[in-house]
Amino acid sequence: MSIRLALASLRAHPPAFIGTAVAALFASTVVSASTMMLMVPTAPGTGEIALVLLVGSVYMSIFVVASTMGTAIAQQHRELALVRAVGARPGQIRRAVAVQALAASLPAAAAGFALGGLLARVWFGGMVTHGLAPAGAEFRFGWLALPVCLAVAAVTSTVAAVLSSLRFSLLRPARALAEASSGGRPGLGWPRAVLGLVAVAGGAALSVLLQRQPAEKAGQGAFLVLILFCVGTGLLGPRLIGPAARLVSAVTGRMGGSARLAMLNVRSQPRRFAAAVVPLVLVVGFGFTKIAARTTAEYRTGSAGTASEVWLDYCGTALYAGFAAIAAANTLAMVSFERRRDVALLRVVGGQRRQVRAMAAWEALTVTLTALLLGGAIGLATLAPLLRAAFGSPFPYVPWPVLAGIAAGTLLLTLLSTGLPVRAVMRRRAISVVKAT
């Protein structure tokens, strides 16, 4: 029965299946490439950098895959509540979502392992060119990366699926149906809230402590600060993102009727909105931190560092930021597809196409500004101890074209990820969409 339930869920929610598979594919690709780079011959001093890249890729992969899988399961709460109402046992529900996670992640992990090998080969060629690997060294395909990919993609997605469904599967069917109809549980749950507060508080405390350390130690601890803040943001979700979203929507909501409707949507659906914002916060926070560290060093000293290590750092930054951006687009598309009934209802009650598109655009702008606000705050808190220890001031220097590029790229990503699903829904008859959902 668990397998049949899993297959029925996959047929009813294809974006959830595709979204999980895409997240697992790119996670496995990044982890595979990073693992193989750790095993290839490199110049002295670059082994530690390779290890940092591997740890960072594993962390980001776990974070993104778990977030995507959690969003996918949350979209199925109504169906899970219905099968509970007709007699399915809690254990059957959990096994069904585990089967679904494995069906999506195992093939993706295998494909990502192979793609990671190709990426690592290109990466290694660049390292040889920049003197970071011995001239004439040969790249060797590392099979050790396969179990790492399977562990990160398959195990993470399965554990996330089971945990996301655990409490919901134990509810009485009537309570489960009520929560599914109202958009989910009103609170976070005390374990998640406590862990989120601990992560944010730990990041803030570590940021303060590192400001009193030498520049080298501050640089080593800065990445941990970034991780703690990102984890805390993901765990606290609506509670942390909600106030920032209300602040942003209060400004954008004054720009006309479509903007006001977008503001009401954002404030009435904090969980859905948080699911869209969190991956973007990861993109902005990580990208801003890595870029600002280099631009500030160049502004203060005239040099961003050794050319070869700067190249390696920017390659890793581009790889992680690109992966996080794809994962963010994936999550945004999943969330937008879930809202197809809302969009269709607006059309049924007389909303014009241009009004619906304008509303979606204002929502995308609100998502972007909220992500920029929180991601920028995380980046500043991460950089503060490093910059104070190195240059005596916690404030970074980032040229305006770079800031504008980060903002424009984030907005474009959000507009495409949310606009395309809305556009696809509007191509169909509105009443047909309402009946189908």
Q: What is the pLDDT of residue 115?
A: 93
- At residue 51, the 3 state secondary structure works out as helix
Looking at residue 13, the DSSP 8-state letter turns out to be -
Give the tens place of pLDDT for each residue, 27-61: 888 889 888 888 877 766 666 767 777 777 777 77
Question: Among residues of the chain, what percentage have pLDDT more than 70?
Answer: 86
Cα–Cα distance for residue pair 31/28, rounded to 1 Å: 5
Q: What is the pLDDT of residue 180?
A: 63
Q: What is the pLDDT of residue 130?
A: 82
Report residue 280 as tokens: 């973007």
Q: Is 131 left (phi over 0), alpha (psi -120 to 50) or beta?
A: left
Element (DSSP H or E) covering residue 154: none
**CB–CB of 331/68 below 8 Å?**
yes
> Measured at the alpha carbon of residue 362, what is the angle toward residues 357 and 363, in degrees to the nearest 5?
95
- Kindly report the number of other CB atoms within 10 A of residue 431's CB atom: 12
Cα–Cα distance for residue pair 375/9, rounded to 1 Å: 34
Low-confidence ranges of the chain (pLDDT < 50): none
Q: What is the pLDDT of residue 351?
A: 67
Cα–Cα distance for residue pair 277/273, rounded to 1 Å: 6
pTM of the model: 0.80
> Alpha helix locations (H) across 302-352?
307-338, 340-348
- Listed by start position, the domains of the chain span 1-186, 189-437
Cα–Cα distance for residue pair 16/334, rounded to 1 Å: 7
DSSP labels for 268-292? Answer: H-HHHHHHHHHHHHHHHHHHHHHHH
**CB–CB of 252/369 below 8 Å?**
yes
Q: Is 303 left (phi over 0), alpha (psi -120 to 50) or beta?
A: beta
**CB–CB of 236/281 below 8 Å?**
no
Tell me the C-alpha to C-alpha distance, in Å, between residue 363 and each of 40, 227, 229, 366: 46, 27, 25, 5
Give the tens place of pLDDT for each residue, 270-315: 777 777 787 788 888 888 888 898 899 889 888 877 787 888 778 8
Nearest Cα to 112, choosing from 223, 210, 230, 32? 32
Looking at residue 40, the DSSP 8-state letter turns out to be S
Query: Pseudo-torsion of CA 284, 392, 306, 378, nearest 10°?
Result: -10
Spatial neighbors of 387 by CB under 8 A, at least 6 apart, are 293, 296, 393, 394, 395, 396
